[in-house]
Amino acid sequence: MNIEDLKAGNKLFRNTKFKDYKNDFKTLVEKGQTPEILFIGCSDSRVVPDMIISSKPGDMFIIRNVGNFVPPYKDDNDFHGTTAAIEFAISVLNVKHIIICAHSNCGACRSLYQNLEDNNSLVHMKKWLQLGMKAKEEVLKEFDFSTNKERVYTETEKRSVVHQLENLLTFPEVKKRLKENALDVHAWHYKIEDGTIECYNTQTKKFEDLC
C-alpha cells in the first residue's frame, strides 16, 4: 500500500462507510466523545482494535504502543505518552473498562530474546523493552528457549500482559475507582491466526476463551 492507495481509500471511505456512520459522527462532534472503554493495544499493523471486536466510532478510546506495555505510575513531570492517555481516559472521559490486549507473534516480546544493536537508533526501544523483561525471566525458569521457541514466545506474550495489568494497578486513580466498583480492568490475548481472544481470569490465574 502506498500514499496513492491511501488517497483512494479515503475517497472510498467518504463515499461508503462514512455515510453509514454520518449521524454518529455528527452526534460525536456536537456532544463530544463518551467512550466507556479504554483499549490499550500493540502498534502492530496486524492488530486492528475496531475490527477485531466490531466496535463503532466513539465506542473506545485507544492507546497503541510497542508491545501494549503500561509503564508503572511515576509522580514526576517528565513526558509520558501512554501514562497521559491513561489518565485522560480515566479522569476526563471516565471510562468504565480498561482492556490491555496482547497478541500472538508479537515483535516486542520476540525482541526480548534478541540482542538489539547497541547504538542510538534503538536507544528508546531498548529502554521500553525493559517493561517486558519480568515476563521473559519468569518464562525462562519454566521453558527451554532452544527447544521450544514458539511456546516461549506465546507464554511471554501472556505473562507480559498480566504484568502490564499489574503496572496499571499502580495508578492511584485506577486503584481508587476499582475500590469504588466504578472501573473494571481486563487482560486479553488476541490470536492473529484465527481471530480468537482469550481473557485472563484473575481468580484461576489462567487465560480462558472470551467467547
Query: Is position 118 annotated in a ligand binding site?
Result: no
**8 Å CB contact between 45 and 1:** no
Q: Is 42 annotated among the ligand-binding residues?
A: yes
C-beta of residue 73 within 8 angstroms of C-beta of residue 171: yes
Please indicate if the annotation marks 103 as binding a ligand. yes
- The answer to the question of whether 44 is labelled as a binding residue is yes
- Name the binding residues: 42, 44, 103, 106
- Name the binding residues for Zn(2+): 42, 44, 103, 106
